[in-house]
């Protein structure tokens, strides 16, 4: 799976202003609503589901990366968006580091395979320090899109 298979480019935010975990997740869900990827009436439900998952254990998996996510019946395919925080957000990450790169995923309840393949893509690509650094420094959604496209083009296939 590639970034282009699930990232909604129009919803990318290269400079989130939110400073808390819940606020940044809300901003990301809102951006998916703004581009028509989720129905308006579902925003609160989706947000609540994502926060509930965070209570089980932070999705801040280290390296300044977090993957907040949930399954939700309001989507019929896996969708996601990317947000970058310049100042870093306290996410109760496993390594205690602040989070700067966020990948939010919403998947249909019956598609665990797609979720796993998106996670694979994210973790495989973000093991590359140069890629992480470039993303952190990206100044616009266009620049983020360009980096994701480049990563897709260089993806190892398995």
Least CB distance to other proteins at residue 6 (A): 14
**By CB under 8 A, residue 120 contacts other proteins:** yes
In the set 36, 94, 142, 146, which binds other proteins (CB under 8 A)? 94
Taking alpha carbons only, the member of 135, 107, 134 closest to residue 119 is 107
Nearer to other proteins, 40 or 129 (CB): 129
Q: What is the DSSP letter of 116?
A: H
Residue 69 annotated among the catalytic residues of the structure: yes
Within 24-83, the residues that bind other proteins by CB under 8 A are 56-57, 59, 61-63, 67, 69
**By CB under 8 A, residue 123 contacts other proteins:** yes
Q: For Cα atoms 69, 74, 75, give the angle at the middle one, nearest 5 degrees.
A: 65
Catalytic residue among 69, 115, 156, 158: 69
**By CB under 8 A, residue 132 contacts other proteins:** no
**By CB under 8 A, residue 124 contacts other proteins:** yes
Query: Which pair of tokens denotes residue 10?
Result: 């129009």
DSSP per-residue string spanning 30-92: HHHHHTTSS-GGGHHHHHHHHHHHHHHS--EEETTEE--EEE-TT-SS-EEEEEEEEEEE---
**By CB under 8 A, residue 127 contacts other proteins:** yes
Residue 20, class by beta-carbon neighbours within 10 Å (0-12 exposed, 13-18 middle, 19+ buried)? exposed
Q: What is the contact surface with other proteins in residues (CB under 8 A)? A: 56-57, 59, 61-63, 67, 69, 94, 112-113, 115-117, 119-120, 122-124, 126-127, 158
């Amino acid at each position: 799976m590639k970034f282009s298979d699930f990232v909604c480019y129009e919803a990318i935010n290269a400079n989130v202003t939110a400073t808390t975990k819940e606020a940044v997740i809300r901003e990301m869900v809102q951006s998916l609503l703004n581009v028509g990827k989720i129905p308006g009436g579902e925003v609160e439900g989706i947000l609540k589901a994502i926060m509930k998952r965070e209570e089980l254990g932070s999705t801040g998996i280290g390296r300044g990366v977090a993957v907040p996510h949930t399954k939700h019946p309001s989507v019929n395919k896996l969708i996601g968006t990317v947000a970058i925080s310049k100042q870093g957000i306290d996410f109760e990450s496993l390594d205690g580091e602040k989070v700067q790169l966020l990948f939010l995923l919403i998947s249909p309840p019956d598609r665990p395979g797609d979720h796993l393949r998106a996670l694979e893509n994210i973790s495989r690509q973000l093991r590359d320090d140069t890629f992480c650094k470039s993303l952190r420094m990206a100044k616009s959604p266009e620049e983020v899109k360009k980096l994701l496209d480049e990563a897709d083009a260089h993806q190892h296939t398995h």
